[in-house]
A = this chain, B = another copy of it.
Amino acid sequence: LRSGTKPTLADVAALSGVSTSTVSNVVRGATVVAPRTRRKVLEAIQTLGYRPNVLARSLVKRQTNTIGLVLGDLSNPFYSELTGIIVREASTLGYATMMSSTGWQIEAQRACIEKLLEHRVGGIIALQFSHDPWLVQELRAVAVPFAVVTCWEEQSDCVAVDDERAGALVARHLLDLGHRRVAYVTSALVERATDAARLRGFRMELAGQGVHVGKESLLHWRSSADFGNDPLMSSRLRELVGSSRAPTAFFVSNDIAAVSLMETLDELDLRVPEDVSVVGFDNIAVSGLARVSLTTVAQPREELGRIAMQLLVDRLMEGEDRPLQQVRLEPQLIIRRSAGPVSSSSI
């Protein structure tokens, strides 16, 4: 019995006096093995502390039970929760999860995926995918199942909330509350195309009532994930608020930025929702606090995670010829106190 290295099938075989294939059979519960033999083998496994080597197994089977997860930034609670859900789901389905984080650097994305491919992951789920046709093409070429969740990616399997509809939902709500001058705030934390879709839906619904969101009402919040202040925005807001065309409501494409905005508004002595209304996106835990009470759009996290994993598995089973699966989920407006009727003084 060799020492210094972990026991192998051969060791178990030797100790129990059978062949390696028999041991392999009992380990995998494959063929019917004689009860006596099985017992002997099991015993040997016990005393040796044998543990199957997944690497060797994967090598011969030419496939792993590992999926790769690429994500931008774990400090945004929306994504970290989603990550947790996916990891759990994968584990339930018998897959291990290999993570790699891009830290929002767009070139890092390719490197991340390259590493995952070298590890021969069975499939890849991207959480915050920066559109990259070359990459999608490459992934297609190697025939590794690829699903993006939370963003709409024309060329891949994907699942996301209906962002346009969400934008419209918010617009409707704001209109119902009497708002006519509204601003849209983009956040660095949300992927461009996604952001654009939300704005599109928002604008269209407003346009139906003759309300227009001009260029001067498009703001950009350079937020980090820690509710940091954006000094540029502060001054921009201050000047905007002074003007006669000051918006009475803000739709922010991300809860983190929305909460940050509320904080900045506080500093400017603008009360929410008495003076201005704020609506966010994601419904992260913080937004539900009474002290925050942010009206926002909820994305069905559990479903997003579950379906993403499902897309991967389906593709894994049915192969490339299966038509692209692209799932849109319904967003849900969560009405809280940060958005209220437009104040009479500002009409």
Expressed in whole angstroms, the minimum distance between the Cβ of A337 and any Cβ of chain B is 12
Which residues 43-95 of A sit at the B interface, judged by CB distance below 8 A?
49, 51-56, 58-59, 62, 64, 66, 69, 73-75, 77, 80-81, 83-84, 87-88, 91
How many copies of this chain?
2
**Interface residues in A, total, Cβ within 8 A:** 56
Residue of B nearest to A267 (CB): B290
A110 at the interface (CB under 8 A from B): no
The B-contacting residues of A in range 304-321, CB under 8 angstroms, are none
0 or 1 for each of A101-135: is its CB under 8 Å from B? (1 = yes): 10100000000001101111000000000000000
A residues 232-269 near B (Cβ < 8 Å) are: 259, 262-263, 266-267
Q: Does residue A99 face the partner (Cβ distance < 8 Å to B)?
A: yes
Given contacts A55-B55, A286-B286, A288-B226, contact A119 B100 (CB under 8 A): no
Q: Does residue A96 face the partner (Cβ distance < 8 Å to B)?
A: yes
Rounded to whole Å, the gap between the CB of A73 and the closest CB of chain B is 7
Partner of A141, one of B49, B98, B100: B49
Report the bound CA distance from A42 to B245 in whole Å.
62
Residues in chain A within 8 A of chain B (CB atoms) = 5-6, 49, 51-56, 58-59, 62, 64, 66, 69, 73-75, 77, 80-81, 83-84, 87-88, 91, 96-101, 103, 114-115, 117-120, 141-142, 225-227, 259, 262-263, 266-267, 285-286, 288-292
